[in-house]
Amino acid sequence: MIQWRPDAHRPRIIFPGGVRIDWIPEKDRRFFVDAQTQSDLDVFEERAGGRSLFELLDSTRTRGGREKLRRLLAEPLSERPTLLARQSAIGYLGNPVH
């Protein structure tokens, strides 16, 4: 269910079981990760026959999903509350028993 918060003029997503997520614009509060750091962490490029982090995580089925995952890895969120809310939602969606 999606609710509008009149105080913030942005939606709040409420999942069964009480998980709540307030929508935060994508452009807000992200880290910039330069190309050298991405390379050092093997985010997009594999080394010595291994797979990159992107390849390990990519189970997307659409071009849009793949681009979104790439952006999430290239420009990770920086705010703890937002990260915790995302983890909670992913945990909820990844749980086969609701």
pTM check: above 0.75: no
| Confidence at 3, pLDDT banded by 50, 70, 90 | very low
| Span 14-20, average pLDDT | 66
Please list, residue by residue across 17-46, b when 16 or more beta carbons sit within 10 angstroms of its beta carbon and e when fewer do: eeeebeebeeeeebeeeeeeebeeebbeee
Backbone φ and ψ for 55, nearest 5 degrees, come out as -65, -35
What mean pLDDT is reported for the chain? 77
Query: Tell me, what's the pLDDT at 59?
Result: 92
Secondary structure element (H or E) that encloses residue 74, with its range: helix 63-74
pLDDT one-digit tens code per residue, 37-48: 888 888 898 877
| Confidence at 20, pLDDT banded by 50, 70, 90 | low
Taking phi first (over 0 means left), then psi (-120 to 50 degrees means alpha), and beta for anything else, what does residue 45 get? beta
